[in-house]
Amino acid sequence: MRRLFVAGNWKMNTTAAVGSALASALAVEVSKSQPAVDVAVCPPSPYLSTIKAVLGTSPIYLGAQNAYFAAPGAFTGEVGLDMLVDVGCQCVILGHSERRAIFGETDELINKKVAATLQKELGVILCIGELLADRQGNKTEAVLETQLTGGLAGIDAAAMKHIVLAYEPVWAIGTGVTATPQQAQDTHKFIRNWLEKRYNAEVAAATRIQYGGSVTPETAAELLSQPDVDGALVGGASLKADKFIPIIQAAAAVKKSA
Ligand code: 13P
């Protein structure tokens, strides 16, 4: 059985004070209920240390939203993996569609980041997802296959233990248009089948695949109940404790057969 994993991607939002209040509310809730799900928050990098301190001994993981693959050196403006380890991160989001679309990240660059992140023994949340035009043109599977093949090039089966995939259809991100539970399930199943072909049945069965794209307290339960949906990567709704906590609770309430 895969343990559900709900992560909040705060993107370029919050202040130290707002993020601290949010993290504090989540820490109280998650520590109290000890939910049977994994929970992570991914604040902007200037606040990682602050939020780490607020999370304290709560079981909430700390994630970064990006990292550069190179060793410390002359890379003005970048954040290195050693720094993320130093401030207590446990995982890194890589390949988010905003990094791809706005900052021109290619599968090749993302792959270098994935490999370097694993070398530092940090977990990876690798995001993949198609544009609306891809879906309308029946190209979803081809796009995902390219992103998976490129992003995971050279990553062996043993390393897949440290990778979570996040399927985020670009047309659903920040739009209020959530993929239907059936669309999410069908696409997650496609990704799992790809994992079986590329690796083996064990990797396919063990790898967690989160869904991301306008997840709300209203849509979470049905999405998370799909057999191949193993959690959520939440943007907007992760910025408010009264929206993110019900999503965590919905995940904790899901019952799936093995
Ligand atoms: P929204 O939940 O705001 O649609 O964002 C999803 C996302 O991009 C998470 O990484």
Write down the pLDDT at residue 34.
Answer: 67
**Ligand 1, residues 65, 97, 234, 238: which to mutate, most atoms within 8 A of Cβ?**
234
- Write out the H or E segment, with its range, that includes residue 73: none
Q: Is there a contact between 207 and 195 (Cβ–Cβ < 8 Å)? A: yes
173 lines ligand 1 (CB under 6 A): yes
Q: Do the bridges between strand 5-9 and strand 38-42 make them parallel or antiparallel, or are there none, so unpaired?
A: parallel
Cβ(40) – ligand 1 distance below 6 Å:
no
Residue having the nearest C-alpha atom to atom 5 of ligand 1: 235
Shortest-distance atom of ligand 1 to CA 175: 4
Residue 174 CA: nearest ligand 1 atom is 4
Structural domain of 183: 5-257
Q: What is the pLDDT along the chain (258 residues), one digit of tens a residue?
A: 899 999 999 999 999 999 999 999 999 999 887 668 999 999 999 999 999 999 999 999 999 999 999 999 999 999 999 999 999 999 999 999 999 999 999 999 999 999 999 999 999 999 999 999 999 999 999 999 999 999 999 999 999 999 999 999 999 999 999 999 999 999 999 999 999 999 999 999 999 999 999 999 999 999 999 999 999 999 999 999 999 999 999 999 998 876
Q: Alpha-carbon distance 240 to 163, whole Å?
A: 27
Domain count, the chain: 1
129 C-beta closer than 6 A to ligand 1: no
Cα 39 from Cα 61, distance rounded (Å) = 6
Residue 258 has a pLDDT of 60
- Closest listed residue to residue 41, CA positions, set 180, 241, 190, 185: 241
> d(Cα 14, Cα 61) in Å, to the nearest integer?
18
CA nearest neighbour of 62 among 43, 83, 81, 80: 43
pLDDT at 32: 80
Using alpha carbons, select from 222, 244, 246, 226 the residue that is nearest to residue 234: 244
- Which CATH number fits the domain that encloses residue 145? 3.20.20.70
Does the Cβ of 178 fall within 6 Å of ligand 1? no
Indicate if ligand 1 lies below 6 Å from the C-beta of 174. Answer: yes
Give whole-number Cα distances, 154 to 30, 198, 214, in Å. Answer: 36, 11, 32
CB 128 within 8 A of CB 147: yes
The model's pTM is: 0.98
Which positions are annotated as active-site residues?
96, 168
What's residue 181's pLDDT? 97
Distance CA 122, CA 143 (A): 26
Residue 166 Cα: closest atom of ligand 1:
10
Residue 91: its pLDDT value, please? 98
